[in-house]
Structure 1
Amino acid sequence: WCMEPLGASELAAFGAGFAVGGTLGGRDQRTLLDYTGFAPYCAWRLQHPGLWGKYAMERENLRKIELAALQKSGLALPNARLRQPFKDMAAMLPGSLDAGINEVYLSHGSKPETLLAILSGGLNERFSGGLFGNGTYLAEDVAKNDQYCTYDQCYGDHAELHKLLFDGHGLVHPGQLLYVFVCRVVLGHLVRTKDGSTDLEDPARRSIWSSTSRELAAIPGSSPPLLHHSLLVEVGGRIARYREFVLFHGDRIYPEYLVAYQRTK
């Protein structure tokens, strides 16, 4: 696998997507909030045939088998309705998304120490956890991801990473960089919650879990039973600022882009 440096058009797309949606901060904020926005500095596309093959297989299975089964049961996929900046970003990036299976771009923040593991092996829900289960957490606002990011202070601090990203590409590390993945994600048939326990759409407030914190419940009315593909946590319950998307199967996520960005005042 390898990393392909990107040009001005992709950076412009990320600039549109990184527009802050609301107030910064929150209980997960880990650094001094002395900035007001984010500016992409450089970016790369991950070319990984192995990870892409797994993702493509999940996407095709949902498209040709599971979606057909849901339609046979008279069920349609709910619309995720992402923030407009992320829609704009997707429209500006090359390639296409399959809206019919809720394929979208979402962001995932990371520390420089974990980037190589993600680039080589993908996002692994077995190493993740949080308020809403042991899944991979993604966002539609980079301000949410930024709460968990830590600085790559200067060139040489992470020699193997810098060799991969900067050496030989004519890119200069300016210091004080942070990293976020812009991932291609299959949301499929999502279930919405505010409390992390019950289905927001169900008047009886059925549980969202078939196995607590590890696997989502079956889609009501599906026959044979199919499990929800993703969890959408809405604001107004246990979270106040940013919606969160949680997936419990890492092969439904492809970390297509890595963006190095800077905080701006």
Structure 2
Amino acid sequence: MPQALYPLLSQAATILPLVRSHLAEAAARRSLPLGFSLDMVPILEEELLGYELIAVGDADTCLMLGCKPDGEPVLRKEFLTDVPPPPLQLVALDGRMIARSPRELPSRYGRRDLRFPDWPSAATFAWAELEMLFPGAPRRPPLLNLGRNVLLERALLAAATRLAQWNPSVHFCGLPNEEQLGYALYGAGGGRGELFFRHPDQWKLHWKSRGEVVCEAWSMVAPDFPLAENETATRESSSVQRISAHIKPPQ
């Protein structure tokens, strides 16, 4: 049987909340200028799975915290260039072609991967880099926009549980609002599927493998903040509502 690609759905459901929780914990001990806020976008880039740190403001460095298949924490640094933007790109949403702004794809160079012995060290170093990239006063602990990340992590965990017998690979492109476009799922045995989000609060899972079909939908409510220390995606909202269909081929 062909070997599944990294990351497996179960790995993504474990790694992403691990990255988020350590970044959130380390943030309480850092200070950034007033008005600074941080979004985290899931991305898979050359076998590095994690969150790209998208800060509000101008910076010439891109940071991504995650890990490769060996599980060792990695902080990836890349420099952004001022070259003219690339041509307009198109992506599909529900069969319709929509335009992506070229500003979403800045040119990068000088990639450097920094390895760390543990997650607290990696998260602390990431915040130290952000503090240097964003000087100025007055300062305060940074504002983190993590509600959507928590919902994604819970959805990944739910999907991994539902598809445990296949445990497919999942791919993240690092696009803004990618959950609305859908995350592609690939099985080692040829299965294909998709996990995607629909407003206001519904996740949908479609999967087909050798004639067996799984279709499932559920609703989740965004968590209240601030997050509890070391919160992970294992706490599912009590308001989850599920609609399931599991079709097996005739014997």
Report TM bin, short chain.
under 0.3
Provide TM-score, normalisation by structure 2: 0.26
Of structures 1 and 2, the one with the larger relative CO (CA 8 A, separation 6+) is 1
Higher helix fraction (1 or 2): 1
Provide TM-score, normalisation by structure 1: 0.25
